[in-house]
Structure 1
Amino acid sequence: MNILVVDDNKAVQEKLAALIISQGHNVDLAINGLDALGKAQQGNYQLFVIDHLMPLMNGVQLTKNLKGNQLSSQVPVIFMTTQGIHTLKNLVEFSLFDKVIDKPINEADFLTILSEFTSAVFEDETLQVIA
C-alpha cells in the first residue's frame, strides 16, 4: 500500500513513516499541502495521512483539493490535529475526513486505524481479483 504522509514537522513525519514501514507499506512524505498536492497528482496512493495546520496550504484546503480531484477523490484521509477533534466537528469539510486523530499521535491507536484502512484496501483488491 502506498501512503502519503503530510506534516510540516520532520519529527512527526519520521515517526509516522517508521510506523507505516514497520507494517510493510510504502511511504512518501510531503512538508505542506502544496507539496502534497503535487505528489498526489503524480503518485498512486491508497491512503493520505494529513496534518491540520501547515504553511502554504493547510490540511483542510489540501483535503478539499484531493477530494475534488478525480484521481484522489476516493482515497481515504486520516486527518491529524493538535486542536482537538471537537473543534473540527463544526467544519463544513468534516465529512471529507475518513478518520480524525489527535496529536501527539498515540502509536497503538495509529496502528489500529492504519490496519482498518489497509485491511479494507486488501479486501477490495481481493474482491476485484475474484470478480
Structure 2
Amino acid sequence: MNILVVDDKRSVRDYIEKMLTAFGHSVSTAANGLDGFEKAQQSPFHLYIVDHLMPLMNGVTLSKNLKQTPACAQTPLLFMTTQEIKDLESLAEFSLFDGVIKKPLIEADFIALVHRIINDSAIKIAL
C-alpha cells in the first residue's frame, strides 16, 4: 500500500513511517496540509493519514479538499488528533474520516486501525 502521512512534527512522521514500512507499506510524508494536498494530487495513494492541527492548512481543511478532489475523493482517510475524539464528532467534516485516533499514538492500536481501514476500503472496492 502507498500511504501519505501528513503531520507537522518530523518525529511523528518518522515514527509512523517506521511503523508502516515494517509492515511492507510504502510511505510518503508531508510537513503540512498544503504540502500534503500537493503530493496527493501528484501521486495516487491508498490511504491518507492526516494530523489535525498544522500550519498553512489544518487537517480538517486538508480532508475537505481531498474529498472534493475527484482523483483523491475515494481514498480512505485516517485522522489523528491530540483533542478528545468526542469533541471532533460535532464537526460537519467528521463524516469524511474513515477512522480517528488520538495522539500520542499507541503502536498496536494505530497499526490495527490502519489495517482495518485498508481492509474495509478493499471490501468496498470489491463490491
- TM-score in same-fold range (> 0.5): yes
| TM-score after normalising by structure 1 | 0.91
CA-based RMSD of the aligned residues comes to 1.5
Q: Which has the larger Rg?
A: 1
Q: Which runs of 5+ in 1 are unaligned?
A: none
After TM superposition, which residue ranges in structure 1, 4 or more long, deviate above 6 angstroms? none
Post-superposition CA distance 1:36-57 (Å, at most 9, x none): 0000000110100000000000
Counterparts of 2:26 and 2:91 in 1: how far apart (Å)?
31
Counterparts of 1:75 and 1:37 in 2: how far apart (Å)?
13
Query: Residue in 2 aligned with 1:86?
Result: 86
CA displacement at 1:114 relative to structure 2:
1.4
Query: Residue in 1 aligned with 2:25?
Result: 25
Counterparts of 2:24 and 2:72 in 1: how far apart (Å)?
22
Q: Which runs of 5+ in 2 are unaligned?
A: none
Counterparts of 2:51 and 2:63 in 1: how far apart (Å)?
10
Identity between Structure 1 and Structure 2 (%): 48
CA displacement at 1:29 relative to structure 2:
0.2
Post-superposition CA distance 1:25-72 (Å, at most 9, x none): 100000000000000000110100000000000000000000000001
CA displacement at 1:121 relative to structure 2:
4.9
Counterparts of 1:112 and 1:46 in 2: how far apart (Å)?
16
Query: Residue in 2 aligned with 1:56?
Result: 56
Instruction: For 1:1-131, list aligned pairs within 5 A.
Output: 1-121=1-121, 127=126
CA displacement at 1:116 relative to structure 2:
1.1
| TM-score after normalising by structure 2 | 0.94
